[in-house]
Amino acid sequence: MSNTYKIPRLLVGAPQGRSGKTTITVGLIAALIGQGLHVQPFKKGPDFIDPSWLTKVAGHTCRNLDSYLMERQSIRQNFIRHAQAADIAIVEGAMGLFDGVDIQGSGSAAEIAKILQAPVLLVINCTRMTRSVAAMVNGYANFDPNVKIGGVILNQVARSRHEKMLRSSIAEYCDVPVLGAMPKGTQFTIPDRHLGLIPAGENDALMESVKKIGEAAAQYLDIEGILKMAQEWPGIVEEQVIQKPIEIEWIKQDTSNQRSNIPVIGVIRDRSFSFYYPENLEALVEAGAQLVEVSAISDPELPVIDGLYIGGGFPEVLARELEENHSFRQHLKQLIEQGLPVYAECGGLMYLGRRIHWEGQSFKMVGALPLEVEMIKKPQGHGYMHLEALPGTPYFATGKIVKGHEFHNSRVTDLDTSGCDFAFKVLRGHGINGQYDGIHYKNVLALYNHIHAVAETDWAHHFVKMAENWRRERK
């Protein structure tokens, strides 16, 4: 029996990247929050950084939706699970609306809009454009009959005369309403870094940019019209019963040794390591673990734990602080030698090596893995990955095809494989050297690939099982 969920929703898309989707999405969410509404944010694709901003602005954890990594039904169910209690759900697209991994548009933002049966709010960069905007709007409105353009946002509008020409052209030739016009201005942007936007949690001063964007959105966007469009859109149909979201209760470090029958997994969450899909953390809880937050910068040592999860981030930016916390690095290396299960992604791999070399400087890291890492100005691995698990690889069965994505400007150097093994054969992507990804040492698995627990449903169970086994062996 099908169920219809009446969820006000929209997807913010654009003809191409760098059109201002993130700025408009952040501003729109801030303006709606200012009206006292509960906004649930989502991000199309595997990105970590944009979701950090959307989370901070909305006050609710942003969720990733990726039709390349996830099944269509999983996307729809995950969306409903986290959006049904909200006043409105807003999905930020990625790249151009119809851009995917192939000519059919697989993995595109348009595909997400179709799966969610959601209207698209099309953001158009109108720099050096007037009447041509109508041809563009009609092209996007008619390209795929199953993708509905609910409204247009004119971005980078030069002056009032420019805006009048744009609005008049769309009104004359298109059957799509204009729901806002954002003027040019660098004050309406968020600073960049080599992997894209700067993570929201890294510098609270950058929230001043968000404040300005929100004020601009309230002034220049038709907030009432956008909200009305989302509210009046037909409901989303789903056949399966939707489970309630998982609530994570982070335990205190000084109580982690008191849980005699429940494995405790530490998660390094600080300014260096902040790239975690919320579903990955929730999956560990669902699999029977409790989580404790750890800082590689400020904690003198690890609490009593049965496993450790180190996500991605920018350890090179905080490399000096990481190096200076000698006691933490030494304690972690000692526990790894004793057999502590550790799962480390990208930045976590970099941290477990001997050194990070960046901008002419060299910084000591944990030294548990026989490798060093060098930062390069251009991406060394960027895009979706397909990996095949090799024999002996923990957390994954031999021969398992693991999907994920990589995005790193670092490369492994001086790797000595005499005391460790490669974990995966690369079928698509780059990984460590174009042929292999992942280093397996004792109970450590460190790799460039980022997985998503919605797609890799067995990962959390294997991780928790390893933590349980190590807990028993220790006792």
- Would you name the residues annotated as active-site residues? 346
Please report how the helices 459-474 and 278-286 are oriented relative to each other, as an axis angle in degrees rounded to 10.
Answer: 50
> How many other CB atoms are found less than 10 A from the CB of residue 298?
11
Nearest to 424 by CA among 438, 442, 407: 438
Other CB atoms within a 10 A radius of the CB of residue 35 amount to 12
Closest CA to 39 of 91, 3, 81: 91
- How many residues are there in the chain? 475
User: Whose CA is closest to 123, among 219, 25, 204?
Assistant: 25
**Whole-angstrom distance, CA of residue 217 vs CA of residue 213:** 6
Q: Count Cβ atoms below 10 Å from residue 317 Cβ, excluding itself.
A: 19
294 CB contacts (<8 Å, ≥6 apart)?
253, 266, 267, 268, 269, 302, 303, 305, 308
Q: Is 398 exposed, middle or buried (0-12, 13-18, 19+ CB in 10 A)?
A: exposed
Phi-psi region of 124 (alpha: psi -120 to 50; beta: other; left: phi over 0): beta
DSSP single-letter state for residue 64:
E
The candidate with the shortest Cα–Cα distance to 274, out of 333, 214, 324, 199, is: 199
Cβ pair 11, 113 in contact under 8 A: yes
In angstroms, the CA 413 to CA 410 distance is 10
Helices (H) and strands (E) in the chain, counts: 13, 26
Match 């906004």 to its residue by tokens.
Answer: 39
Distance CA 152, CA 350 (A): 43
Rounded Cα gap, residues 74 and 209, in angstroms: 34
Measure the CA–CA gap between 264 and 245, rounded to whole angstroms. 21
Residue where the block lists tokens 């016009």:
181
Rg for the chain, CA atoms, rounded = 23
Q: At 30, which helix (H) or strand (E)?
A: helix 21-34
| Residues 376 and 357 sit within 8 Å (Cβ to Cβ) | no
